[in-house]
Chains A and B, each alone.
Chain A
Amino acid sequence: MIIPYLGVLIIVGLVGFMGVMSFFASFIMRPRNPYAEKLTPWECGMEPVGEANAGHFRVHYFIIAILFIVFDVETLFLFPWATLLTDKGLSGFIFIEMIVFVAILAIGFIYAWVKGALEWV
């Protein structure tokens, strides 16, 4: 049963290998003549002020991520539900079940909408 998943493992390994190799190949093949002007983050722009990781990013990214995580978990429950829908005896019951589930989560979605969490201003 787990033999087919060997292919997944090989693909993951290949992707990792390609990622590392492309960095390594460009590391050995690139020309190397650094000087002070070239090492600045923006070669022909303003001098950057302060650190990049000093929390200049808006909290809005975080709100979108919270919305994403909740609806991602909802998708998790939709997969086994979708495989069962072909079953005649069970499909009506689990359809209503899922409607209730989605309706409860929709309350949260409406709350986020009313509260203005979806507006990017």
Chain B
Amino acid sequence: MEQLFFYIFAFAAVISAILVISVRNPVHSAFFLIVTFMQVAAIFILLRSPFLAAVQVFVYVGAVMVLFLFAVLVLDMGKETMKEHLHGQSIPAGVMAVILFLLMCYMVVKGRIVANPGSYGEAALVNNTEVIGRELYTRFIYPFEIVSLILLVALVGAIALVMQSKGKEQGK
């Protein structure tokens, strides 16, 4: 039963991912990307981490895609998208992507895991958010605080870049 759901979600994710890179209009692309993100959230639930699924939905679908759609809105995409065409690089690039995929599949089928399994079985993951929080706020304090610096740099950098170009626009 679980296997059936896995195949449904995986198939939908792969199909919509292919559509993301093959449709011309960036807005359609963004909507197919939302479908892919929802399927990935479902895969996270199959992997027994509902917290990750919730985070996936509210960060990726809720915030990242809004940012992408606003970027499409602010830019003048109309003429640009229709002009786009494939070029000489495309055939070797496609072949390289396929070779990369086959190589990775070969490695994962041939490889085997030598690490010892830890203690977080399915029973330990029932209160998923609390279990993750306990790990996050004890063993991973320093990464957690550094992440706030990354977010600060991203916020300041993005605001500085966009406000600067906005000032230039008004000066004209």
Q: Which residues of B contact A2 (CB under 8 A)?
A: 2, 45-46, 48
Are B151's CB and A62's CB within 8 A?
Answer: no
Task: Return chain B residues, CB-CB under 8 Å to A51.
Answer: 78
With contacts A5-B50, A62-B74, A66-B158 taken as known, whether A74 is within 8 angstroms of B151 at the C-beta atoms is: yes
Task: Say yes or no for B86: interface residue by CB 8 A criterion.
Answer: no
Whether the pair B125, A80 counts as a contact (CB closer than 8 A) is no
- Interfacial chain B residues near A61, Cβ < 8 Å: 70, 73-74
Contact with B along A3-26 (1 / 0, CB 8 A): 001001100100000000000000
Tell me whether B74 and A104 are in contact (CB under 8 A): no
Which of under 10, 10 to 19, 20 to 34, or 35 or more describes the interface residues of A? Answer: 35 or more
B23 part of interface (Cβ distance < 8 Å): no
Structural contact, B64 and A69, CB atoms closer than 8 A:
yes
Partner of A62 from the list B42, B48, B71, B129 (CB cut-off 8 Å) is B71
B76 CB–A CB distance under 8 Å:
yes
Known: A53-B77, A80-B137. A59 touches B165 (CB 8 A): yes
Contact mask for chain A residues 42-57; partner B; CB cutoff 8 A; 1 contact, 0 none: 0000000001011101
Q: In the complex, what's the smallest C-beta–C-beta distance from B46 to chain A, in angstroms?
A: 7
Does A36 lie at the interface of the complex (its beta carbon under 8 Å from any beta carbon of B)?
A: no
User: Chain A residues with Cβ under 8 A from B2's Cβ?
Assistant: 2
Asked if B122 lies at the interface with its beta carbon under 8 angstroms from chain A, I say yes
Chain A: interface secondary structure? helix
In the bound assembly, the distance between CA atoms of A90 and B136 in angstroms comes to: 12
User: Complex Cα distance A117/B90, Å?
Assistant: 41
Find out whether the CB atom of B129 lies under 8 angstroms from the CB atom of A55: no
Contact B145 A1 (CB under 8 A): no
Q: How far is the CA of A70 from the CA of B152 in the complex (A)?
A: 8
Chain B residues with a Cβ under 8 A of chain A: 2, 38, 42, 45-46, 48, 50-51, 54-55, 58-59, 62-64, 66-67, 70-78, 122, 125-127, 129-130, 132-134, 136-138, 141, 144-145, 147-149, 151-152, 154-156, 158-160, 162-163, 165-166, 169
